[in-house]
């Protein structure tokens, strides 16, 4: 059995409880564009079954408002792109204002793993700007020094539960899946990681606690008190 050599982190919901800020940003974008859309928490929880912000809006548009016309006569994709840009700007402002914090135990585990020589990677379907604003505010301007590989929506367009982002992360790490652990918060993330051959630790949040986590190596409420040694023990079990 391979020894543990790398940790691969999802971002939204795993590194930080971001979804409430994302939800507020979506609604801000809709209002700024003069649309009557408003997603409440229950609706958004269901929409999180769809990975990717643009994909989420497109799914909602097609299913909830199939007869709705494009804004200003622009194409559907152009409208979605514009809404997503407004949403991203609102989310970035919220993070910079301190609306999002890392989940308990995350920063300590990252620092400990880095000090012990484990390689750290990010495998997410969120956008590069969302990753950067979150980790720059949470860790500091040198946040990239912790992560040897970052795969995101710009490099892995096939969203979770497709395993593309994890397959590409493993290829860039140059490691077999058996030498790594993935850390996720959702069933889509878990399915993507497992499909890539990865043992996976799941830390659910309020938006994903109802998901099916069959196949996870461990399901824990958060990473507070979870050490690298504990991860090694789970990995070898």
What residues are annotated to the active site?
A: 10, 12
Q: Token pair of 215, please?
A: 């196949």
Coil, strand or helix: which one is 142? coil
CB 139 within 8 A of CB 146: yes
DSSP 44-58: HHHHTTS-SHHHHHH
d(CA 36, CA 57) in angstroms, rounded, equals 14
**Lookup: tokens for 233:** 């023990």
Bridge partners of 7? 120, 181
Q: Is 28 helix (H, G, I), strand (E, B) or coil?
A: helix
CA distance 213 to 195: 14
3-state secondary structure of 71: helix
Taking phi first (over 0 means left), then psi (-120 to 50 degrees means alpha), and beta for anything else, what does residue 129 get? alpha
């Amino acid at each position: 059995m391979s020894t543990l050599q790398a940790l691969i982190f999802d971002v939204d919901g795993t590194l930080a409880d971001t979804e409430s800020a994302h939800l507020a940003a979506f609604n801000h974008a809709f209002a700024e564009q003069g649309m009557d859309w408003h997603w409440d928490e229950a609706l958004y929880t269901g929409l999180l079954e769809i990975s990717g912000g643009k994909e989420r809006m497109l799914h909602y548009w097609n299913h909830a408002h199939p007869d709705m016309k494009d804004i200003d006569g622009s194409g559907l994709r152009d409208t979605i792109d514009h809404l997503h840009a407004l949403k991203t700007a609102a989310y970035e402002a919220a993070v910079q204002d301190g609306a999002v914090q890392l989940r308990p135990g995350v920063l300590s585990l990252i620092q400990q793993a880095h000090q012990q020589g484990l390689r750290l990677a990010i495998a997410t379907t969120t956008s590069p700007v969302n990753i950067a604003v979150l980790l720059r505010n949470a860790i500091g301007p040198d946040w990239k020094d912790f992560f040897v590989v970052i795969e995101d929506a710009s490099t892995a367009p096939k969203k979770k539960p497709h395993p593309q982002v994890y397959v590409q992360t493993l290829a860039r790490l140059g490691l077999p899946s058996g030498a790594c652990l993935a850390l996720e918060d959702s069933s889509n993330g878990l399915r993507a990681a497992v499909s890539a051959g990865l043992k996976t630790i799941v830390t659910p949040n309020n938006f994903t606690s109802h998901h099916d986590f069959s196949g996870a190596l461990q399901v824990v409420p958060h990473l507070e008190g979870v050490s690298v040694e504990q991860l090694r023990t789970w990995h070898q079990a």
